[in-house]
Structure 1
Amino acid sequence: MALLKRYGLYMVAAAFFFYMFYSLSFPYESAPPPQPGHNDADDAPINEAPKGDGRKSYDWSKIPIQHPVVSDMIPLPTGAPKALPKIQHEFKEEDPTAKHIRETRREEVKKQFLKCWTSYRQKAWMHDELEPISGKATDPFGGWAATLVDAMDTLWIMDLKEEFTSAVTDIGKIDFGYTPAEKINVFETTIRHLGGLLAAYELSGEERLLKKAKEVGEMLYHAFDTPNRMPITRWDFHNAGQGNKQEADETVLVAEIGSLTMEFTRLSQLTKDPKWYDAITRITQVFDRQQDMTKLRGMWPIVVNAKKRDFTKDTSFTIAAMADSTYEYFAKTYALLGGLDPVYKKLYEQSMDTAIKHTLFRPMTPENADMLMSGMVRTEGTNTMLLPEMQHLVCYAGGMFALGGKIFENPEHVTIGRKLTDTCVWAYKASPAGIMPEVSQLYKCANMSDCTWDEKAWKEEVARRADVGNEDDPLKNIANLRLPLGFTAINDRRYILRPEAIESVFIMYRITGLQQWQAAAWDMFTAIQKHTDTDLGNAALADVSADNPPKVDSMESFWMAETLKYFYLIFSEPDVISLDDYVFNTEAHPFKIPKPKN
């Protein structure tokens, strides 16, 4: 989540970090450079006749691997899965009034999903996305019907079986051997297309979906066909299709190389073919070997060198944008493997110990609330400096800590997850539109235990950051900045229909059973619906600090795959996709957790 896309946004965020770090006298060392251009495919195996632009469709299962794994293929762990600790709250019989309210709200979410789905089907079918204002179609994700594939499991979960069955037939027509795109984002294709197909198969048992998932897997496997078996994350699809040589890149976002484990593991589990598990385990081994060798021991920097397999050199660290799902996947992959590979427990616990110590801070708010947020860290020698920012994307971390705390029986992590999620709920309520912005900054309390609201100190920090003072009254122009109390800056005022806040609210509800989380979710949904609703669907917003935020003609596939799914699930019965039975990938696609036989 191409400025409005997930990792297009990450590039915007990277540019934004340049500005923030320079403003704080932090030098920022590296960001991924442009990748080389693609070559047309002339001589590779084909599935069908050339497309209109003369390119051909590759049958990836028949294109030879130049750097095959011959004798040291890493197998899936064997043995009976371990019984994981219980995650969900023990829900008791529901009050009839509460049930009526919950079901009414659930149907409102479903109604909006159907509106979006119908518009997509009528105006952008088989394209990646619908533009919800103009009604135009757009193809930012390879032209492989991203919204269709991404929303399949949502259709099933919402009991829209007729629409699901009809869509399966059209999914069979998607040609993953061809794209007009010059570059393919391996991460985005993995979480949206591979993850979406696998989850839809797991829920429905429809074998055609697994067959299609394997097609995607065969294609993505060729991105790993490099001398050191590290993947090319911004991948030249046509160069690989021609059979040309490939090398991993020297500058790679850690989230893009570290967030493939769940989908590749699940594909190997379902097909009984270990090659995809082997591919991602080689990455996991690098994380494991180098975890104590980085400049912030326990975590890995935002930018890593895949060509040299060196994940240690950069000096900027975060669990937010550009790094997020690497950390999210450790506990989830542990669960997906039935607890049979202890390395994921080690990676989670040591990285979160470091994140707690260095990235978390308590924001100063008028309510004097005991909340937490996770910022960005820069290291200089033995010194660490924390930028107290708040990203909408980092709101996923509340759910990550809470799940990790349950899986690894660490109550402190559950508490941290609750405090992180509290801050995101607070940020929604504090915004004039009732929706938190993409990127902002908060006032960092001096310590975690004692923090009392000081309006004068807050205003001085706002004035310092914004340089809005004048000779007569240095605080006079603060009102022009449109900052809610507690915010010291808003660096990106957009809302792009993001799911991360409702994701963690949903997880906290399922873990605690407290209805306050359902109430918070409904406030979030009504605010989002009020400001983003269009004749065709829901549109991103340009400025949530305005009373009437202007709309942007964009509706990413994750709106129906994630955001509306989590809103629907929090108002569903607790046994619908129970957290004791399923673990979600970072695109909200549920994979079934293996259980020991009774």
Structure 2
Amino acid sequence: MGYDELMPVSRLGVDGLGGLGATVVDALDTAMIMGLDEVVSEAGSWIESHLLDRIRQKGQVNLFETTIRVLGGLLSAYHLSGGEQGMTLAQKGPKPTIYLDIAKNLADRLLSAFTSSPTAIPFSDVVLRDSSAHSAPDGLSSTSEVSTLQLEFNYLSAISGDPKYRTEGMKVLAHLKTLPKTEGLVPIYISPHSGEFSGENIRLGSRGDSYYEYLIKVWLQLRDTQDGNFTYLHDMYEEAMRGVKHMLVQKSIPSELVFVGELPVGPKGYLSPKMDHLVCFLPGTLALGATKGLTKEKAMKDNLLTFEDLENLKLAEDLTKTCFEMYSVTSTGLAPEIAYFRTKDYFESGLDGGNKSSEYVNDIIIKHADRHNLLRPETVESLFVLYRITQDPKYREWGWHIFESFEKYTKVESGGYSSLDDVTTVPPPKRDKMETFFLGETLKYLYLLFGDSSVIPLDKFAFNTEAHPLPIKSS
């Protein structure tokens, strides 16, 4: 116990995220939500006994990964164990203040990424033991990474009473607001040295994804607070979604699956029909942005949906179907890391997913290098959000198919679940790695998909990009 990531086949562990026990912290609130008191007690005790020492002694960590997994996990555990009159889902484990004190210690060290930078854009890497920070070897930060820290830092300021966390985090978004964009879309790299975007690559997969997610979620988190006007975040989100629809959305042939492509050489270049599994966060974000977490039925009844909201909700439903078909088109019923879509300009034969009975077997192309599955959560996240908002039972049916495939092909008899090398072959070879997000996100979203909608309601909580629910203060 205490390794960042587990290797379930060899029953070992590896510290790939700086050695802060990321799996323990990431999984803790999942165990709280599921009512697994013994797991909560064991994980909470480990955190109380070991985590502070590790934070004080460890070297380099990535600002983004540490914020979303470790800081986010601690903050969610604080609330769910009864902090600030929170939910008290956890009967076992340490007092909430333990989680808060460790979170503050960690965040104080992570702040060096902001305070060391010559611009509002933080450095990507922090050395915990001496609270110093530096940029990545190429001098750049990922756009998504610098803009996916604010939910966590804002909430920490709210519960600690110290505004410094929110101040540093929100400086980033206020700065990004001033930069030139293409119909709201942004390149995937940014320089902390100049404060400007770098390159022209535009995509909603890795390094781009959660920039768009946090625009709407941070607005939802802060819109009822009295200090400051945050409508600019909602404006940036809406402009970006218009840009997505205009510049990135296309349909495959022959069966017209709606997908989101990439602009690898920028807005004047070609559209690549490549869609990372990571992009499957987008339907959930679109649905959340449309109804603000209310059910579609209630939002319609109260006349809260604009034409644009309805359009975005329709796109969310279309993309959720595409994301599910990326699973059902393969021999294992599990999605590859990356899919390509057949268009009038692009096709490669002999690269289908292996399920010849799928009606989309000719639409979805899976290259050999992209056939692995890392137990990612984005599709089940969107299934959860779409089910909560539309109440359409098909999202539960799709989620159950995916869950059964995880059970059948990724479960390891001695414990845990393993990433796969190739989802198009049966049986698929196992990779011997369980990413922290499988327990922190994938299983949590599956559990919530089939649970009661009153548990962690979407209009009262914002899930950070690692599925850690943080409460939204209403005025």
CA distance in 2, matches of 1:533, 1:348: 38
Indicate the SS of the match to 1:437: coil
Distance 1:504 1:142, change over 3 A: same
- From 321, 333, 349, give the equivalent of 2:206: 321
Partner of 1:32: none
Instruction: Kindly provide the CA deviation profile for residues 357-414 of structure 1, in whole angstroms up to 9, marking residues without a partner as x.
Output: 111111224xx35x4211111456x724210112111111110111111128411111
Q: Give the 5 Å matches for 1:558-597.
A: 558-596=437-475
Residue type at the aligned position of 1:532? T
Q: Answer whether contact 2:145 2:207 (CA < 8 A) is retained.
A: yes
- Equivalent of residue 401 in structure 1, options 283, 286, 307: 286
Shift of residue 508 of structure 1? 0.6
Task: Kindly indicate whether residue 395 of structure 2 is the aligned counterpart of residue 517 of structure 1.
Answer: yes
User: Residue 329 of structure 2 contacts residue 353 of structure 2 at CA under 8 Å; is this kept in 1?
Assistant: no
Letter in 2 for 1:404: G
3-state DSSP class of the match of 1:432? coil
- SS of alignment partner, residue 111 of structure 2: helix
Q: What residue is the counterpart of 1:526 in the other structure?
A: 404
When residues 533 and 247 of structure 1 are mapped into structure 2, their CA distance, relative to the original with a 3 A threshold, is closer
Deviations 1:47-93 (A, max 9, x none): xxxxxxxxxxxxxxxxxxxxxxxxxxxxxxxxxxxxxxxxxxxxxxx
The residue number in structure 1 matching 2:69 is 192
CA gap of 1:246–1:438, structure 2 versus 1, over 3 A, is closer
Taking structure 2 as the reference length, the TM-score comes to 0.86
- Partners of 2:418 and 2:430 within 8 A in 1: yes
Off by >6 Å, runs of 4+ in structure 1 = none
The 1-side partners of 2:169 and 2:420 are apart by 36
SS of the counterpart of 1:538?
coil
Residue 270 of structure 1, aligned match among 159, 163, 168: 159
Q: Structure 1 residues 378, 552: closer, same or farther in 2, change over 3 A?
A: closer
Find the counterpart in structure 2 of residue 443 from structure 1.
342
| TM-aligned CA deviation for residue 270 of structure 1 | 1.0
Conserved 8 A contact 2:283-2:382? yes
Superposed displacement of residue 132, structure 1: 0.5
1:176 Cα deviation after fit: 4.5
Per the TM alignment, residue 482 of structure 1 is displaced from its structure 2 partner at its CA by 5.5
Q: 1:579 to 1:162 in 2, by over 3 A?
A: same
Q: Is 2:119 aligned against 1:228? A: yes
Q: Could you report, residue by residue, the CA deviation over 1:129-156 in whole angstroms, capped at 9, with x for unpaired residues?
A: 2210000121111111111111111111
The one of the two structures with greater contact order (alpha-carbon pairs below 8 A, sep at least 6) is 1
Counterpart position of 2:178: 289
In the alignment, which residue of structure 2 is the partner of 1:335? 220
Q: Percent identity?
A: 33
What is the identity, as a one-letter code, of the residue corresponding to 1:432? S
Aligned partner of 2:98 in structure 1 is: 208
The separation in 2 between residues aligned to 1:355 and 1:314, in whole angstroms, is 19
Query: For the Cα contact (< 8 Å) 1:462–1:489, is it kept in 2?
Result: no
Task: For residue 237 of structure 1, report the CA deviation from its aligned partner.
Answer: 4.1
Q: Equivalent residue for 1:98? A: none
Name the CA shift for 1:286/1:551 in 2 (closer, same or farther; >3 Å). same
Query: For residue 241 of structure 2, what is the aligned residue in structure 1?
Result: 352
Aligned to 2:92: none
* SS state at 2:55 partner: coil
- Report how far residue 489 of structure 1 moved: 4.0
CA contact (8 A) 1:375 1:388 kept: yes
Q: 1:421 aligns with which of 305, 320, 324?
A: 320
Partner-residue secondary structure (3-state), 2:465: coil
1:204 is aligned with what amino acid? S
Unaligned 5+ runs, structure 1: 1-124, 447-457, 464-477
CA contact (8 A) 2:335 2:423 kept: yes
- In structure 1, what residue type is equivalent to 2:453? P
Q: Distance in 1 between matches of 2:77 and 2:56?
A: 23
Give the equivalent residue in structure 2 for 1:546. 425
In 2, the alpha carbon distance for the partners of 1:581 and 1:534 equals: 36
* Amino acid aligned to 1:591: L
The 8 Å contact of residues 497 and 563 in structure 1, kept in 2 or not, is answered as: yes
- Distance, in Å, in 2 between the alignment partners of 1:224 and 1:534 is 41
SS in 1 for 2:270: strand
Does the 8 A contact of 1:176 with 1:219 survive in 2?
A: no
- Output the aligned Cα RMSD: 2.2
Decide which of 365, 386, 397 is 2:271's aligned counterpart. Answer: 386
Give per-residue Cα distances to partners, 1:142-195, cap 9 Å, x unaligned: 1111111111111110011233134322212212434554x3111000000000
Pairing of 1:28-427 with structure 2 (within 5 A): 125-172=1-48, 173-174=50-51, 175-181=53-59, 183-205=60-82, 206-226=96-116, 227-237=118-128, 240-241=130-131, 250-290=139-179, 293-294=180-181, 296-311=182-197, 313-340=198-225, 341-365=230-254, 368=255, 371-379=257-265, 383-407=268-292, 409=305, 410-427=309-326
Please, which moves more after superposition, 504-513 or 355-364? 355-364
Ranges in structure 2 where 5+ consecutive residues have no aligned partner = 83-95, 293-303, 356-360
> How far is 1:479 from its partner?
7.3
Deviation at 1:235, TM superposition (A): 3.0
How much does 1:314 deviate?
1.5
- In structure 2, what is the Cα distance between the partners aligned to 1:179 and 1:132? 27
Displacement of 1:230 in angstroms is 3.0
Q: Distance in 1 between matches of 2:24 and 2:291?
A: 33
Instruction: Output the TM-score relative to the length of structure 1.
Output: 0.69
Deviation digits for residues 398-448 of structure 1, max 9, x if unmatched? 1011111112841111111111111011111111110110012111369xx
Alpha carbons 1:129, 1:557 under 8 Å: kept: yes
Residue correspondence of structure 1 range 15-30 to structure 2 within 5 A: none
Q: Deviations over 1:35-55 (max 9, x none)?
A: xxxxxxxxxxxxxxxxxxxxx
SS of 1:325's partner is helix
Cα deviations across residues 438-475 of structure 1 (Å, max 9, x unaligned)?
012111369xxxxxxxxxxx8xx215xxxxxxxxxxxx
SS in 2 for 1:334: helix
Aligned to 1:508: 386
Distance 1:247 1:444 in 2: 39
Aligned-partner SS, 1:551 = coil
How far residue 246 of structure 1 moved from its aligned partner, in angstroms, is: 5.3
- The CA distance in 2 between the partners of 1:412 and 1:480, in whole Å, is 31
After superposition, the Cα gap between the structure-2 partners of 1:421 and 1:358, relative to the gap in structure 1 and judged at 3 Å, is same
After superposition, give the CA deviation of every residue in 1:277-317 in whole Å (9 maximum; x if it has no partner): 11111111221001xx23x2411101111110112x42110
Q: Which has the larger radius of gyration?
A: 1
Structure 2 counterpart SS, 1:141: coil
Matched residue pairs, number? 433
- TM-superposition CA deviations, 1:518-567 (whole Å, max 9, x none): 11100000011100011221000000011211001100111110000011
